[in-house]
Amino acid sequence: MSALSHPDYNSELEKLSYTLKYINGYNENVKNEKSTIDKDVDYSIKHYNSDNAEQYNELLINSALQDTLSQRLKNLSKSIVKPYFARVDFLEKGYTKLQKFYIGKISLLRKEDNELIIIDWRAPVATLYYEGRLGNGVYKSPEGEVEGQIRLKRQYTIENTELKEIYDIDITTNDEFLQAALGSSKDKRLKDIVSTIQVEQNQVIRADMWKSLVVQGAAGGGKTTIALHRIAYLLYNYEKTLSPKNFMIIAPNRFFLSYISEVLPDLGVENVLQTTFEDFAINVIGQKLKLENPYEKLSFLVSNKGSESNLIKDISSFKSSLDFKNVIEEYINTVEINFVPKKDFTIESFILIKQEEIKRLFYKDYKNLPMLLRINEIKKTLINTLKQRKGPILEEIELEYDRKINNARETMGDSLVRRKVITELTDTRDKLMEKVRKHSKTIIKEYLSKFTSSSTLEYYTQLLRDKVLFCDLCSPYIDETMAEQVRVDSLNNLNENKIELEDLAPLMYMEYMIRGLEEKLDVRHVVIDEAQDFSVFQLFILRKLIGGNSFTILGDLCQGIYSY
Of the candidate ranges 58-67, 153-162, 289-298, 351-360, the one whose mean pLDDT is the lowest: 289-298
pLDDT tens string 511-545? 999 999 877 788 999 999 999 999 999 999 999 99
Give 282's pLDDT tier (boundaries 50, 70, 90). very high
Contacts of 523 (CB under 8 A, 6+ apart): 245, 246, 247, 248, 273, 545, 546
Q: Does the predicted TM-score (pTM) go above 0.95?
A: no
Contacts of 178 (CB under 8 A, 6+ apart): 196
What is the C-alpha separation between 528 and 535, in angstroms, rounded? 12
Q: Please determine, for residue 462, whether its predicted confidence score (pLDDT) is greater than 90.
A: yes
Nearest to 362 by CA among 347, 379, 346, 350: 379
Q: Are 344 and 353 in contact (CB under 8 A)?
A: yes
CA quadruple 293, 299, 304, 310: dihedral sign: positive
The amino acid present at 329, given as its one-letter code, is E
What is the C-alpha separation between 93 and 148, in angstroms, rounded? 5
CA quadruple 418, 421, 425, 428: dihedral sign: positive
CA quadruple 368, 371, 377, 378: dihedral sign: positive
Q: What is the CA radius of gyration of the chain?
A: 34
Return the number of other C-beta atoms located less than 10 Å from residue 140's C-beta.
12
3-state secondary structure of 455: coil
pLDDT tens string 326-368? 999 999 999 999 899 999 999 988 999 999 999 999 999 999 9
Bridge partner residues of 551 (DSSP)? 526
State how far the alpha carbon of 324 is from the alpha carbons of 238, 314, 537, in Å: 37, 12, 8
Nearest to 322 by CA among 482, 552, 541, 529: 541
Q: Could you give all domains of the chain from N- to C-terminal order, each with its CATH number?
A: 3-201 (no CATH), 207-286+519-559 (3.40.50.300), 294-336+455-513 (no CATH), 345-448 (no CATH)
Helix axes 9-46, 53-79, angle to 10 degrees: 150
pLDDT tens string 194-224? 878 888 899 999 999 999 999 998 888 888 8
3-state secondary structure of 194: coil
Nearest to 169 by CA among 150, 149, 154, 151: 154
Give 463's pLDDT tier (boundaries 50, 70, 90). very high
Q: Are 464 and 507 in contact (CB under 8 A)?
A: no
What is the C-alpha separation between 333 and 339, in angstroms, rounded? 10
Q: Following DSSP, what letter does each residue of 129-176 receive, concatenated?
A: HHH--SEEEEEEETTEEEEEEEEEEEEEEEETTEEEEEEE-SSS--HH
Q: For the chain, how far is it from start to end, CA to CA, in angstroms?
A: 52
Of 439 and 305, the structure prediction assigns the larger pLDDT to 439
Q: Are 529 and 225 in contact (CB under 8 A)?
A: no
3-state secondary structure of 496: coil
Q: Are 304 and 530 in contact (CB under 8 A)?
A: no
pLDDT tens string 425-461? 999 999 999 999 999 999 999 999 999 999 999 999 9
Quote the strand ranges of 36-130, DSSP E. 86-92, 99-104, 108-110, 115-120
DSSP state of 183: T
What is the C-alpha separation between 127 and 123, in angstroms, rounded? 8
Average pLDDT, the chain: 89
Q: Are 491 and 542 in contact (CB under 8 A)?
A: no
